[in-house]
A and B are shown apart, each in its own frame.
Chain A
């Protein structure tokens, strides 16, 4: 089975620009989550998509948005980039909603897209 793949692996943008990051979920997985990992920090939850709809959102402004497609792949869009948006963006997929009370639906993570904002 294929794992989670993300593109691009690295990119550089300037402040105020917009960026789109892409994620292909693992075969058989229908849920995608996005996390932001700043340098030296643990990942922070941005949002989760299930059945093409946002299902849960972390403490991120509206300029962070996403999409999930019928094939369960996903995009993360960030508008009006700020210097603090520089981070590793991680995509993760799961079969069903991730975690939850039973923790049964474990996330499989991609290697990430490293965004640098100048």
Chain B
């Protein structure tokens, strides 16, 4: 069965410093992995997706993630945090029926 574990429930960074949000996955086959962001009162927005092409995936707003099969990880990074990045972030894996399996979420706080 597929699952994801987000290793931090809350991450706090200062504006302009790097962001690292950690995600480990479990899958019985080569997974499709995603990162979604959820701002208050807004729908989930896709940041990036990995679908067995390049292992380093670039997304919107300067975010990127690296698929590491040996470590079963798909961590999300950004070189420099912006105040507008404060939100809830979800790591997601799909199963072969089209169902999305979400992690518990990581709240990113960005301090001025």
Seen from chain A, the residues whose Cβ lies within 8 Å of a Cβ on chain B are: 3-4, 31, 33, 35, 40-45, 48, 55-56, 58, 90, 92, 97-112
Of B43, B95, B100, which contacts A111 at CB under 8 A?
Answer: B43
Seen from chain B, the residues whose Cβ lies within 8 Å of a Cβ on chain A are: 29-30, 32-34, 36, 41-46, 49-52, 90, 94-105
Say what secondary structure dominates the interface of chain B: loop
Q: Please name all residues of chain B whose beta carbon is closer than 8 Å to the beta carbon of A104 when the two chains form the complex.
A: 51
Q: Please name all residues of chain B whose beta carbon is closer than 8 Å to the beta carbon of A101 when the two chains form the complex.
A: 29-30, 32, 96
Contact A45 B101 (CB under 8 A): yes
Cα separation A98 to B98 with both chains bound (whole Å): 5
Say what secondary structure dominates the interface of chain A: loop
Cα separation A26 to B33 with both chains bound (whole Å): 22
Cα separation A98 to B56 with both chains bound (whole Å): 23
Contact B94 A99 (CB under 8 A): yes
| Closest chain B CB from A33 CB (angstroms) | 8
Closest to B32 in A: A103
Contact A56 B97 (CB under 8 A): yes
| Closest chain B CB from A42 CB (angstroms) | 3
Contact B98 A106 (CB under 8 A): no
Q: Please name all residues of chain B whose beta carbon is closer than 8 Å to the beta carbon of A40 when the two chains form the complex.
A: 105
| Closest chain A CB from B6 CB (angstroms) | 8
Contact B43 A4 (CB under 8 A): yes
